Amino acid sequence: MKILVVDDKPDILDVLRLILEMEGYDVLTESSGAKVLPLMHAEQPDLLLLDVWLPGCDGRNLCRQIKQQESLRHIPVLLMSAHRDVQQMAAQAGAVGSLQKPFQMSTLLSTIASALEQRLC
């Protein structure tokens, strides 16, 4: 399974890549919200893990754009943020779930597994 992780902080991208690759996922990372749509079209990831607050780009709006595109709407999106209302933001944007930063590795992995299971159903 291929996961695209989008966050503007390189250290978060590095840690998430390491954790997810250790679990056997193929991981793509991106720090620019502007590059997400073209990358998703090219790579067709199985899941998008998307930060809400990206420079010059709102992850919620990006999620809405993805869900409006026929070729991408089937890809589950998980929004992540330190904001206390991230679950509500995710639901309003059309994401399948959310992760509130900081999160435990077990929470990350179980949330991803659940989102991928929903996609396969």
Does CATH number 3.40.50.720 belong to domain 2-120? no
What does the pLDDT average to over 104-120?
A: 92
Buried b (16+ CB within 10 A) or exposed e, 73-107: eebbbbbbbeeeebbebbeebbbbbbbbeeeeeee
> pLDDT of 43-80, one tens digit each?
999 999 999 999 888 999 999 999 999 999 999 999 99
Q: pLDDT band for 121, please (50, 70, 90 cuts).
A: low
> pLDDT of 77-102, one tens digit each?
999 999 999 999 999 999 999 999 99
pTM exceeds 0.85 for this model: yes
